[in-house]
Chains A and B, each alone.
Chain A
Amino acid sequence: MKRRPRRALLALVVAGLLTAGCAGDGGGTETGGAGSTVTGIERDPAPDVSTVALPDAAAAGRPFRTVAGDGSLLLVYFGYTSCPDVCPTTLTDLRTARRRLGDAAGRVDLAMVTIDPARDTGEVLTRYVRSFVPGAHALRSDDPAALRAAADAFGADYSVSPGPSGRPEVVHTGNLYVVDDTGHLVLQWPFGTAAGDMAADLALLLGRTGS
């Protein structure tokens, strides 16, 4: 049951990289800014995602803007609940990282955007995301254009297509994104970032944000 390489998606990713490369000098640098010791990837310039708004199924479908509360950080993840490996790995590591922050964990919020709204009901998504972070936001839209626009703003990619076995075949960016209280995407962690590194980065960013 070998499958062909996903050339279309590859092209998309390449296009995304090229675009990112043109977005500004040093765009997408991994070395970080002056005096930075974060292990995540700092986005420079940090994309403004404050205009992204999706219905929050955990709040009766009211629009939720991807901006952190004052002095807080908002983590944004594009995933789906029937994801067996990548999503629970990252979200469990995030839960562990938050626990290590102690009281400061209250300043680290989470919004999960489902890329699979056909299978993820609002209720399922809400219970799922809140089992990792209490009070987390469950962003779900039935409007494919709105979902795509939100993902584009973060530089995330996804696709859900019928697989050969009849089950949907899902592709999605494995990054966990960190947004500050001005609505700027300041940092992203690739899949596999250790919980300890997440915790250290969060502590550093919370220090910058001011307590």
Chain B
Amino acid sequence: MPATPTRTRLAATGLATALALALAACGDDDADSASAEPEEVTVRDAWARPTAAGQTAGAAYMVLTGGTEDDRLVGAEVDGSVARTAEIHETMPAGGMGGGDAMTMREVDAVDVPAGEEVALEPGGYHVMLLGLAGPLEEGDTVEVDLELEHAGTIEVTAEVRDR
């Protein structure tokens, strides 16, 4: 396990936020320091499409919400039991014209996650590409994806396998 600045579980984030709010309401000294902590990037609605027979690459989608400060999504990792590797990709028009007729995909170095703004990873746009799937993704399964944020560090995300 590489050392990471923070390792945040989504559920834990929610709990911590609720706790911080509760403490803030009490006017406790600790609460002041807690509320001074910058909010980090959060992730919701993570999902991955079930794979078709023979499909060796998959994609995971989600919505990121920026924290107090601008951040950047710089990478993703999955366990070898899910896929050989994960990368951040973007689907885009190949020629930038023709109503999106011809499309291609490229790996991106980073996706900006501006403070307080939502950034969607969705079909036809940014996605976490899962390369070399170890097995099929089936409806009802979950896939654990570690997102690497430039400032927030690693965020563990659980993606539901479902059709959109």
Contact = CB atoms under 8 A, between A and B. Distances in A.
A58 interface: no
Given A13-B101, A13-B102, A171-B102, A84 B89 contact: yes
Interface string B94-131: 11111111111111110000000000000110010111
A6 B107 contact: no
Interface string B76-95: 00000000000001010011
Given A127-B54, A128-B54, A131-B53, A85 B163 contact: no
Interface residues of B, number: 36
A171 B104 CA distance: 4
Contacts of A169: 104-106
B58 interface: yes
Contact of A86 (B91, B107, B163): B91
Contact of A84 (B53, B101, B130, B164): B130
B54 A85 contact: no
B57 interface: yes
A171 B94 contact: yes
Contacts of A170: 104-105
Given A6-B104, A13-B101, A127-B53, A85 B95 contact: no
B129 A84 contact: yes
Contacts of A131: 52-54
B101 A157 contact: yes
A29 interface: no
A81 interface: yes
Contacts of A96: 163
A66 interface: no
8 shortest A-B CB distances, which residue pairs?
Answer: A127-B53, A84-B57, A10-B95, A124-B54, A89-B123, A131-B52, A171-B104, A128-B54
Interface of B: 49, 51-59, 89, 91, 94-109, 123-124, 127, 129-131, 163-164
Interface of A: 1-3, 5-6, 9-10, 12-14, 16-17, 81-86, 88-89, 91-92, 96, 123-125, 127-128, 130-132, 157-158, 165, 167, 169-175, 190-192
21 contacts: A1-B109, A10-B97, A13-B94, A13-B101, A16-B98, A81-B55, A81-B56, A84-B55, A84-B59, A84-B127, A84-B129, A85-B123, A85-B129, A88-B51, A89-B49, A89-B124, A123-B54, A130-B53, A169-B105, A173-B103, A192-B100
